[in-house]
Amino acid sequence: MTQRNTSLARRMAQALVACAVAVSMAFCVGVALAPAGAQALTTNKATARPNEQGGDGVIGGENTRLTWEGTVDAGEQVESITLSLPEGASFDGSTTRITVLEGLNRVSVDGTATPAGDTLKVSFATPIPEGSLLRLEVTDMKFPEAGGDYAVGGSYVNQAGQTEALNDSPTVSVIANTPLQRVVTWLDGQAWVSAWNSNAFLGMFLKPQLIVTSLATLFPGWLLCLLIVIVAYPFAIALGLAFAFMKMSRHKPVRAIAIVYINVLRGTPLFLQIYIAFFGLPMLGVNINNTILGIVVMAINSSAYLAEIFRAGIESIPVGQYEAAASLGMNRSQTMVSIILPQTVRRVIPTVTSDFIMSYKDTSLLSSVGVMELMMFAKNLTTVSGNITPYMAAAIFYLIVTLPLSKVVGNIEKRLAHAEKGTGPRPKTTGEATENA
């Protein structure tokens, strides 16, 4: 209670400071001030609900909800109240909920709210009794588009019919409108958008407004996905190649290590490996940055698959190639580097690509351990909006990479196949004839 009294006292002091403003405001409303009227309806607070998509700011020019609270002092009753905001704000199209409380108990009071531009007049069917708390929740009002700190002022009419000025509320910080929000607002107003959204399926899975905000909100997550997989993959290839050679080694212990490594990693779900790395390591006191740890886990997981792909690729090269190299006097490593591996690359490109695509998609599993990647953003936005569209936007982001990649690799493969089969440009028959001669 003392807490409340001191805060009341502080607000009374604020009221004095704001007196000049309040007086001028009262004149704006166009009513005579009662002489030296004691403040009998004290403004407690004014807050606005954050309306920034995927953020916690209050954006001007967009619908938000203003909550205004005031206490009716002893000996006073309030017949009606007018809230006013600086020019540019709009109460038009808003709805108002009136709550009157005595302590924690609700007092039933009806009223009508009449919005008019930057003012809102609320008339009560029965006067608000003394000592009670009045709360007005104005849904779908707008703050000025320019942004800034705004105080709610206005006036009220007491039981004697006198109009008194309200002291200014603490200010509400409003940020300026963003282009993204403007697009969303524009979409809100389109008839085809409402028609589209009225279909239960389209409205839930492909809501245009949410597609726009999702694409913008998910973008950093997409970049992180790309970063993780692009950084991880070279390491995965190097590790994979190393383990492929180890598995083909002549020494049994080396082979055993490679076999265990490959089989354990391929035999357990990536999800489990992520959990072990992200929850196990911190318990050992090893604290690595989440993104780096994500890259490490992805690289290690991929390397096991790549090792098998490379081994199969290398073993698929006919023995004749080794013999031919040997007959030219090449040693084993020379044979490997200049004869076998170049041919292997050609053969493994399709499988390595599908593994790359798989790894890229598997970064989504990192969302479960708090890496702020694509799925994490999509999940958060879905929780906030109660709509599935952010997931569809995430699908678009995955496909942007995977579809062109499949296409490009298809082309490379075709070209390599041509080169291998020798269907590329060949010497003309005449040239061949001279060569033979």
Told to check if 36 binds another protein by CB under 8 A, we report no
When the beta carbons of 104 and 437 are compared against another protein, the nearer one is 104
Told to check if 381 binds another protein by CB under 8 A, we report no
| Residue at 67: amino acid letter | T
What are the φ/ψ torsions at residue 221 (nearest 5 degrees)?
-65, -40
- Contact segment (CB under 8 A) with another protein among 123-131, 137-145, 280-288, 405-413 equals 137-145
When the beta carbons of 321 and 383 are compared against another protein, the nearer one is 383
Told to check if 80 binds another protein by CB under 8 A, we report no
CB of 131 to another protein, least distance (A): 12
When the beta carbons of 71 and 359 are compared against another protein, the nearer one is 71
CB of 105 to another protein, least distance (A): 7
| C-alpha separations of 9 from 67, 132, 214, 298 in Å | 22, 18, 46, 60
Rounded Cα distance between 275 and 365, Å, is 10
| Helices marked H in 18-132 | 19-29
Rounded Cα distance between 169 and 154, Å, is 10
| Helices marked H in 30-136 | none
When the beta carbons of 67 and 77 are compared against another protein, the nearer one is 67
* Cβ(309)–Cβ(237) below 8 Å: no
CB of 106 to another protein, least distance (A): 4
CB atoms closer than 10 angstroms to residue 287: 9
- Reading the block at residue 177, the tokens are 């409108």
When the beta carbons of 139 and 354 are compared against another protein, the nearer one is 139
Rounded Cα distance between 169 and 46, Å, is 6
Interacting residue with another protein among 104, 283, 284, 319 (CB under 8 A): 104
When the beta carbons of 139 and 162 are compared against another protein, the nearer one is 139
Told to check if 188 binds another protein by CB under 8 A, we report no
Interacting residue with another protein among 5, 20, 74, 103 (CB under 8 A): 103
Interacting residue with another protein among 39, 43, 53, 67 (CB under 8 A): 67
Rounded Cα distance between 197 and 206, Å, is 8
- Reading the block at residue 90, the tokens are 């709009």
* Cβ(210)–Cβ(385) below 8 Å: yes
Told to check if 214 binds another protein by CB under 8 A, we report no
Rounded Cα distance between 63 and 68, Å, is 16
Interacting residue with another protein among 73, 137, 145, 413 (CB under 8 A): 137
- Binding residues for another protein, rule CB under 8 A, total 31
CB of 201 to another protein, least distance (A): 4
What are the φ/ψ torsions at residue 144 (nearest 5 degrees)?
-55, 145
When the beta carbons of 65 and 121 are compared against another protein, the nearer one is 65
When the beta carbons of 71 and 364 are compared against another protein, the nearer one is 71
Interacting residue with another protein among 101, 231, 257, 372 (CB under 8 A): 101
For the purposes of burial, counting CB atoms within 10 Å of the CB of 6, is it exposed (0-12), middle (13-18) or buried (19 or more)?
exposed
Told to check if 414 binds another protein by CB under 8 A, we report no
- Reading the block at residue 195, the tokens are 């028609």
Told to check if 100 binds another protein by CB under 8 A, we report yes
* Cβ(185)–Cβ(40) below 8 Å: no
Told to check if 387 binds another protein by CB under 8 A, we report yes
| Residue at 209: amino acid letter | Q
Told to check if 50 binds another protein by CB under 8 A, we report yes
Per-residue DSSP letter, 302: H
What's the length of the chain?
Answer: 437
Interacting residue with another protein among 1, 32, 74, 200 (CB under 8 A): 200
Told to check if 131 binds another protein by CB under 8 A, we report no
Sign of CA dihedral 53, 55, 61, 63: positive
Interacting residue with another protein among 1, 2, 3, 424 (CB under 8 A): 3
CB of 227 to another protein, least distance (A): 26
Strand partners of residue 156: 81, 164
Told to check if 2 binds another protein by CB under 8 A, we report no
Interacting residue with another protein among 201, 425, 426, 428 (CB under 8 A): 201
Interacting residue with another protein among 383, 415, 432, 433 (CB under 8 A): 383
- Contact segment (CB under 8 A) with another protein among 8-16, 121-129, 231-239, 383-391 equals 383-391
Told to check if 47 binds another protein by CB under 8 A, we report yes
Rounded Cα distance between 11 and 246, Å, is 76
Over the range 272-282, which residues count as b (16 or more CB within 10 Å of their CB) and which as e?
ebbeebbeeee
Q: Which residues bind another protein (CB under 8 A)?
A: 3, 45, 47-50, 56, 65, 67, 95, 97, 99-101, 103-106, 133, 135, 137, 139-140, 199-202, 204, 383, 386-387
